[in-house]
Amino acid sequence: MVQASLPPNPTFSLSGISTPVELDIERRIVADILSLVTLPARAEIAAERFRQSQLRAAEQTLQVGTEARRSYYRAVAALQLMAALAQAASAAEAAAQLAKQLGETGAMNKLDQAREVAFHADLVTQLAVARRSAASGRERLIRTLGLPGSEPAVKLPQMLPQLPGKPRALVAVETEAIRRRVDLQIARIDADTLAKSYGLTKATRFINLLEVAGVSRTQREGGVSGTGGGVEVDFQVPIFDFGEVRLREASETYMQAVNRLTEKAVNVRSEAREAYQSYRSSYDIANYYRREVLPLRKVISDETMLRYGAMQIDVFALLTEAQRRIAANIAAIEAQRDFWLATTDLDAAIVGGAALSNDSPITNSAGSTASK
């Protein structure tokens, strides 16, 4: 941008012929008149290109920020899931020991004993997977942030943030995306810059080079010397090439940019709507677990314990309810994690900076656990 705002350097030339009876010295100062005339337009176009480069740098920064947020939520969710599975595995171990004792007394058959032991083994396996996911998630976050790997450098909370009281509204999502998306601003600047370049090409298509030279000449002949000067102008006459090819190429290049901008605008609106739908459904699911499923599971678990203490139900119903509550807790953590990942994706769809990589979410066999 700075270089384009500077006038072209003049060209100085000096030539001389010297003989015993004659001295001829010619001095020239040559300036590019066309570059001087088009200097404001070229400076304006260069400023637009500089703004475009700034937006590209901002887009890359947003990409790193988006990836860091996703890595953060995944790492915290893995820690929370690991803690829940550790607690569940401890309870399942106690249930397996109880089933073994009941089996020794003949109060539980081998099939039910095997089910309780298998459930405990399944939870132990899930806990090992969760620990591995927590470690890899922490390391991924460290790499994204560029931090040292020492323990004091990264301290993560043990639980995800609570859900907001109410979700965002859809009214302004598309409008905000059109107004704020960085990549759309880059495409818009590209089209505007090409339009200005097209106008410049059209105005100068008949002239490729136009220079003016200031000539100063000192001549001495036969002991008599003199100084003269004048102006010399060189320009190219368009006898064969009238610039139609360059004009057509500039026009088609500009229309390419316009079509790319139109396509980008359509895609941005669609991406914003899709991200909002994912955000809203994730919020509804996570909020339903928080508002309905988990409280109901707690009530059922408390009532089951009361009836077990009153000898109204047997141990099998108690163990079955424990399995279902563990599965509900795991599913609720995953739903909460998915909501915060969807929130990150919605912000990226509105402002820009899609994630650098789309890692698959943390998976486990909670579904198979819930079906027990």
> Could you tell me the residue ranges of all domains in the chain?
9-35+207-242, 38-205+244-370
Burial 151-188 (b: 16+ CB within 10 A, else e): eeebeeeeebeebeeebeeeeebbeebeeebbbbbbbb
CB atoms within 10 A of CB 21: 9
Pairing state between β 224-235 and 22-32: unpaired
pLDDT in tens, 283-318: 999 999 999 999 999 898 888 888 877 777 766 777
Average pLDDT, the chain: 78
pLDDT band at 276 (very low <50, low <70, confident <90, very high): very high
pLDDT band at 357 (very low <50, low <70, confident <90, very high): very low
User: And the tokens for 60?
Assistant: 């890359």
CB atoms within 10 A of CB 229: 10
**pTM value?**
0.70
pLDDT in tens, 128-153: 999 998 989 888 888 888 887 666 56
Q: What is the pLDDT of residue 267?
A: 87
Residue type, 285: I
Burial 254-264 (b: 16+ CB within 10 A, else e): beebeeebeeb
CATH topology classification for 38-205+244-370: Outer membrane efflux proteins (OEP) (1.20.1600)
Backbone angles phi, psi at 284, to 5 degrees: -65, -40
pLDDT band at 279 (very low <50, low <70, confident <90, very high): very high
pLDDT band at 234 (very low <50, low <70, confident <90, very high): low
| Residue 275 · residue 349 · CB < 8 Å | yes
| Nearest of 356, 359, 365 to residue 136 by alpha carbon | 359
pLDDT band at 32 (very low <50, low <70, confident <90, very high): low
Q: Is 361 helix (H, G, I), strand (E, B) or coil?
A: coil
Q: What is the pLDDT of residue 70?
A: 92
pLDDT for 215 beyond 80: no
